[in-house]
């Protein structure tokens, strides 16, 4: 069952980032996605190879002049027979085109109208421009990422755009499709990257509520680089190892492999010992290359792994065994996830 969404029809209003990435994932799961791109100078896409650009892969592309009555009519005809509409414009843009929910949903009462914005469809900042960094800044997430002695560090655009944006939008779409089975009615999905990224941080907010996280002290907590047994360490060849034995039983394995004094097991969560432990680990990991450390920790539960580059990751033995990457038009690309077991009739 590698195409569980086969038969689902999706109309995508062309854009960049989280909304088209959601359509890429929906298409990869079997949905029929038609991407409407504005013709002329309003066309929105980066000059990337469409065979490897997730903003355009696996779609039927229609170029329409949405400023003309004919173009809007063609778009409306497509939307009127679709299961899902996905758009990522600022609030009000679709309404000005005559393609907002009040225009389309009466013609297609079962339509799932999915809207992706940074700040949401309403509120004092709804119409403001922004990017991932702005959204995770406003959600409180960015303040927790970075070293203790420096400022917040941009964590690529994975948290706001693709975690709090794409994945939250897909969750909303699938939930709305499930509800439609019993109600027979569609709905509007309002996905905000500020709210989505804040939701992803719910466990951290819970830690703060329980006094287990110092919200105002970046780089001082268990998962933010403040803890010596949840961090990365440079190796002799300039590589890095990720060290994450949070649980005592895994930490005990780390101690054993490194030949450290067993007394460290009792001091693992003693914060007064963390500075010394970090110095010890820093010195040890600089004594061998990344590959040597990888071989030393292979097959044991110390929660220690090499930090691979994007070029190296596809060739790691485990990733090769799982076929986690694939060749597309001569380029290595990640394979879609998750995986599904075959249905009985497909076995």
CA 140 to chain centre: 17
Residue closest to 159 by CA, chosen among 176, 175, 143, 172: 143
Tokens coding 167 = 């994945």
161 in catalytic set: yes
Give the separation between CA 118 and CA 127, rounded to whole angstroms. 9
- The CA-atom distances, in angstroms, between 301 and each of 84, 166, 232, 244, 253 are 44, 33, 17, 10, 7
Q: 178: helix, coil or strand?
A: helix
131 in catalytic set: yes
Give the separation between CA 277 and CA 282, rounded to whole angstroms. 8
φ, ψ for residue 73, nearest 5 deg:
-65, -40
Query: What angle, 0 to 180 degrees and rounded to 10, lies between the N-to-C axes of helices 202-209 and 193-200?
Result: 50
Which of these is catalytic: 65, 103, 131, 240? 131
Give the separation between CA 337 and CA 347, rounded to whole angstroms. 20
Give the separation between CA 18 and CA 117, rounded to whole angstroms. 9
Q: 14: helix, coil or strand?
A: coil
Residue 39 CB coordination number (10 Å): 15
φ, ψ for residue 182, nearest 5 deg:
-100, -30
Which of these is catalytic: 83, 161, 224, 231? 161
At a CB cut-off of 8 Å and minimum separation 6, what does 101 contact? 94, 113, 188
At a CB cut-off of 8 Å and minimum separation 6, what does 167 contact? 196
At a CB cut-off of 8 Å and minimum separation 6, what does 298 contact? none
Q: 289: helix, coil or strand?
A: coil
Give the separation between CA 209 and CA 233, rounded to whole angstroms. 31
Catalytic residues: 131, 161
């Amino acid at each position: 069952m590698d195409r569980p969404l086969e038969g689902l029809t999706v109309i995508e209003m062309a854009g960049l980032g989280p909304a088209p990435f959601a359509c890429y994932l929906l298409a990869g799961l079997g949905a029929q996605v038609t991407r409407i791109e504005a013709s002329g100078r309003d066309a929105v896409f980066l000059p990337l190879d469409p065979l490897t650009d997730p903003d355009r892969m696996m779609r039927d592309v229609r170029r329409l002049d949405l400023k003309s009555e004919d173009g809007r009519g063609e778009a409306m005809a497509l939307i009127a027979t679709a299961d899902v509409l996905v758009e990522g414009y600022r609030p009000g843009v679709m309404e000005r085109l005559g393609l907002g929910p009040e225009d389309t949903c009466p013609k297609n009462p079962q339509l799932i109208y999915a809207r992706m914005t940074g700040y949401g469809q309403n509120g004092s900042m709804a119409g403001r421009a922004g990017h991932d960094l702005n959204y995770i800044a406003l959600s409180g997430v960015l303040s927790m990422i970075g070293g203790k002695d420096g400022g917040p560090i941009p964590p690529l655009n994975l948290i706001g755009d693709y975690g709090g944006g794409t994945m939250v939008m897909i969750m909303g779409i699938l939930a709305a499709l499930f509800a439609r089975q019993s109600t027979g009615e569609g709905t509007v999905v309002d996905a905000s990257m500020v709210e989505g990224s804040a939701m992803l941080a719910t466990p951290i907010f819970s830690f703060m509520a329980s006094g287990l996280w110092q919200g105002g002290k970046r780089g001082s907590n268990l998962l933010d680089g403040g803890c010596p047994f949840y961090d990365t360490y440079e190796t002799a060849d300039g590589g890095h190892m990720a060290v994450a034995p949070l649980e005592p039983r895994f930490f005990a394995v780390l101690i054993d492999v490194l030949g450290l004094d067993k007394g460290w097991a009792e001091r693992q969560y003693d914060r007064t010992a963390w500075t010394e432990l970090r110095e010890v680990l820093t010195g040890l990991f600089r004594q061998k290359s990344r590959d040597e450390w990888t071989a030393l920790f292979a097959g044991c539960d110390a929660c220690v792994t090499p930090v691979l580059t994007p070029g190296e990751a596809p060739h790691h033995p485990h990733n090769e065994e799982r076929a986690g990457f694939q060749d597309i038009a001569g380029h290595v690309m990640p394979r879609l996830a998750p995986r599904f077991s075959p249905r009985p009739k497909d076995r």
